[in-house]
Structure 1
Amino acid sequence: MSPLARHAPTLLVLLLASACSIAGGLTPGVAPSAESPSPSLKVLSNGVRVLVQEFEASEVVAIQLWVRTGGRDEASSELGLAHYLEHMLFKGTALRAPGFVEREVEGVGGGINAGTSLDYTYYHTVLPARRAVAGIEMLADISVNSTLDPTALDLEKRVVLEEMRLTEDNPRRLMFRQIYEVLFAGHPYGRPVIGTPELVRGLTRDTLMAFYRRHYVPDAFVLVVVGPVKTADVLTVAERTLGRLPRSGFQRLPLAPPGEFRPKRLDVERPGTQAYLGLAWLGPKLDHADTPAVDLLVSILGQSRTSRLTQSLRERLALVSSIETDYTPLEAAGVVSVVAQLTPANLPRVEAEVLEEIRRLRERGVSPAELRRAVTAAEAGNAFSVETAEGRARTYGRAETVWRLPEELAYVDRLRSVTPEQIRAAARRYLDPERYGRLAFVPPA
């Protein structure tokens, strides 16, 4: 089970993914069953990667187009363009007039949406199986032929500005976004995916079109199709649509890891009666050997009713109304966070109690029973998440875009092999109780 999976509902949807994306968390790694053969991968001559799984248990087909472009790829003058472009690709192409979503997707009982993160953008649709060819053709069309109509572009500014306002009004969303600003100051991961009001208001079609042409190229595309389909048929359609695009030669530059972290403490006044406390540390990146141990560490700390922080701070001491831990591994770095909602008077004690629990974990480690519960929770999450074609497609697409598919499929087994000693070592390596970012939202005095 990929670590991003279980924590994505909090961090990717609330922080990184576009507000127009309704999709839940990215699904965990799934080992193919006897009824569903392993996904097949073919790289077309122009660099497009095509992943297909024949999933006969599904009555619908999931088709997704992943693009290796996200907030990290923007220049400082382009903040929010990856997200804004995602909105605009549903507004019409040279071949499809505005309203094609209603006609070609919703009109046949399907659904379509998209999401933007720091590391990627993806477009996902679920259609009746008989519409698989039409769905591939549609995603191939919007990937390079969108008109970016100037009138539609200006109208969409109000939508995006409203998204920004909603984020500012939601303390949890804002907390996670600002945690990234604290941890990644001066790094592309510290910038808001949604952009800034000033850049959105001044955005022109020429600027957005230049970004589109530069980043939406065959070398950056991963097409994923999962459902009751034939691999050969999917590849034929992919070849005559995406396969005809000329190779661009564009190479995405690897993202440098963040520099040395300097502890930072911030208090921000917000209206209301409740306070919010966020503590955060830099964690391992997605493909790091420590990722499974940190994933289980975070689960044991605060991912269930029986986890340590929940039991101590909410159930026994009644110091918080809610508390949760998260681990989000990205391509170039990771984030481990603890976020609590509480009364303002409890802020100092809650921070001290969290740090004391971390010290105990660093000194004494975890029990075999705690480790078994965390692994079982991961296995259960995996089982629930792989029931649909859409969930499988999302797993494969993300893996082939920012990770490696074989690693994704083997992740649950890697979790099972983690020992209590490895979890203690990960806590000592990443959760320094003297070096962390601290952010608090407090009511006005």
Structure 2
Amino acid sequence: MGVEVSRLSNGLTVATETLPHIESVALGVWVKSGARNERDDEHGLAHLLEHMAFKGTGSRNAWKIASEIEDVGGEINAATSVETTSFYARVLKDDVPLAVDILADILTDSKFDPHELEREQHVILQEIGAAHDTPDDIVFDRFTETAFRDQTLGRSILGTPETVKSFTSAQLHNFIERQYGADRMVVVAAGGVRHDDFVREVEKRLGTFRPNAQVEAPHNATYTGGDYREKRDLMDAQIVLGFEGRAYHVRDFYASQVLSMILGGGMSSRLFQEVREKRGLCYSVYAFHWGFSDTGVFGVHAATGKSDISKLVPVIIQELQRAGESISQEELNRARAQYRAGLMMSHESAAARASQIARQMLLFGRPIGTEELVDRLSKLTIERLTDLSSRLFSTRPTVAAVGPVGSLPAFDAISDSLTGAAPVARKLAV
């Protein structure tokens, strides 16, 4: 049947996909507002709002929100990312009206009680502490901070202890009233759902939601690159080497996704085979590409022991440079197959499918069919990928490292080796 889309009179978009033989429904409200939309004095507020959404409304306290959904065997949660916030549930198909009612209730009538706020601030302070104590988490925070220095895009989603402790109920109300409007929201359901019935339920509860958000557009991000190193007395080191990536809307976005799979998307990838299997220089290595609305970042993460750090980075750089020289048809075909399989497997999960549809609606204003995505993949060529590699890995790098990183090559040496400076290239040569 495919994805069906309706728009309510207030501009709210409602999309569904019926998945035959599935008795449950994954549904939620996705908002085009996340950590990046915070003002300077709001760092961490979007994430706190996500936590506070379940702490009580005018008609339900926190216990009632949790017990009503669990009384029918359902589950409810929320998530904050850099550019979006989502509130979602999963229930059996007969309980969709209840789930819609609860989600609408927390979006329209949350009280943000000061006593609940104080408790939740304490919980988030613990979360910040736990992240700081987890090197493979904190290295990514430091990586994005360095890649997009002094910008909201580079800030940690969690905020800082100082900012989190400073927030008030009034700030939460102001943020949701300013950021959340029907023009920046989509309501999506996937599974055993009927489109017309779902639209009626959403219309009843969110049809009068404010049509427009009064949001200021975030400043365009500028990739800066740079170096961050934090020496810690640990058994292993967490290292991320990155470069300026591509935004969702640009031509090279899907090529960048495929390139990340060729370099480090599985056990057959170049980095895994060369760095881990052949040389044993780390216990974990993979590549990734994160796209945002106006920029992106391409990176390689590796975890290794202290004695192998000095050898690891030159091998990674060598593999990145080799990608600019040659990529085989076999590698391209394998990456295409991995990407396509991931798309097809997402159709077997109602939750994954709902999230995918919501993301497409927020980013592109329409659902993008699997056939269209596969067609885009089929048009990628070896020449395009090698050209992208040559351009991508000659940009100013971002280096973030946490652990016993004293033997990590200097930032200038890494940077010069990527641009082909002869003396340093020989110094880092494998």
Q: Establish whether TM, by shorter chain, passes 0.5.
A: yes
Which of 359, 364, 373 is equivalent to 1:398?
359
C-alpha distance in 1 between matches for 2:109 and 2:212: 16
Is the partner of 2:303 in helix, strand or coil?
strand
C-alpha distance in 1 between matches for 2:164 and 2:210: 31
Which of 307, 317, 323 is equivalent to 1:355?
317
Pairwise CA distance, 1:96:
1.6
Is the partner of 1:342 in helix, strand or coil?
strand
Match of 1:442 in 2: 403
Match of 1:210 in 2: 174
* Contact 1:323–1:338 under 8 Å retained in 2: yes
Pairwise CA distance, 1:416:
2.4
Over residues 347-372 of structure 1, what are the superposed CA-to-partner deviations in whole Å (9 max), with x where a residue is unaligned? 22211111111111112x20001111
Is the partner of 1:99 in helix, strand or coil?
helix
* Contact 2:3–2:367 under 8 Å retained in 1: no
Higher relative contact order (CA 8 A, sep 6+): 1
Which of 356, 368, 380 is equivalent to 2:341?
380
Pairwise CA distance, 1:76:
1.0
Match of 1:287 in 2: 249
Pairwise CA distance, 1:444:
8.2
C-alpha distance in 2 between matches for 1:227 and 1:252: 35
Given the alignment of the two structures, is residue 75 of structure 1 paired with residue 42 of structure 2, yes or no? no
* Contact 1:94–1:145 under 8 Å retained in 2: yes
Pairwise CA distance, 1:405:
3.2
C-alpha distance in 2 between matches for 1:63 and 1:164: 29
Match of 1:197 in 2: 161
Pairwise CA distance, 1:428:
1.4
Given the alignment of the two structures, is residue 143 of structure 1 paired with residue 107 of structure 2, yes or no? yes
TM-score by length of 2: 0.90
Q: How does 1:14-33 map to 2 (within 5 A)?
A: none
Which of 171, 196, 204 is equivalent to 2:135?
171
Structure 1 residues 251 and 266: alpha-carbon distance in aligned structure 2, compared to 1, 3 A threshold: closer
Q: Runs of 4 or more off by more than 4 Å in structure 1?
A: none
Match of 1:327 in 2: 289
Pairwise CA distance, 1:407:
3.8
Of stretches 190-199 and 354-363 in structure 1, the one that deviates more from structure 2 is 354-363
Q: How does 1:12-411 map to 2 (within 5 A)?
A: 37-248=1-212, 250-251=214-215, 253=217, 255-258=219-222, 261=224, 263-363=225-325, 365-407=326-368, 409=370, 410-411=372-373
Equivalent pairs counted in the alignment come to 405
TM-score by length of 1: 0.87
Please tell me the root mean square deviation across aligned C-alpha atoms, in Å: 1.7
Pairwise CA distance, 1:322:
1.3
The amino acid that maps onto 2:103 is: L
Pairwise CA distance, 1:249:
5.4
Which of 413, 418, 436 is equivalent to 2:380?
418
* Contact 1:399–1:408 under 8 Å retained in 2: no
C-alpha distance in 2 between matches for 1:319 and 1:225: 45
C-alpha distance in 1 between matches for 2:369 and 2:51: 29
* Contact 1:271–1:444 under 8 Å retained in 2: no
Unaligned 5+ segments in structure 2 are 407-430
* Contact 2:148–2:221 under 8 Å retained in 1: no
Structure 1 residues 375 and 107: alpha-carbon distance in aligned structure 2, compared to 1, 3 A threshold: same
Unaligned 5+ segments in structure 1 are 1-36
Is the partner of 1:277 in helix, strand or coil?
strand
Of stretches 313-322 and 116-125 in structure 1, the one that deviates more from structure 2 is 313-322
C-alpha distance in 1 between matches for 2:304 and 2:141: 19
C-alpha distance in 2 between matches for 1:129 and 1:370: 42
* Contact 1:41–1:49 under 8 Å retained in 2: yes
Q: How much identity, in percent, do the aligned residues show?
A: 31
* Contact 1:144–1:216 under 8 Å retained in 2: no
* Contact 2:229–2:405 under 8 Å retained in 1: no
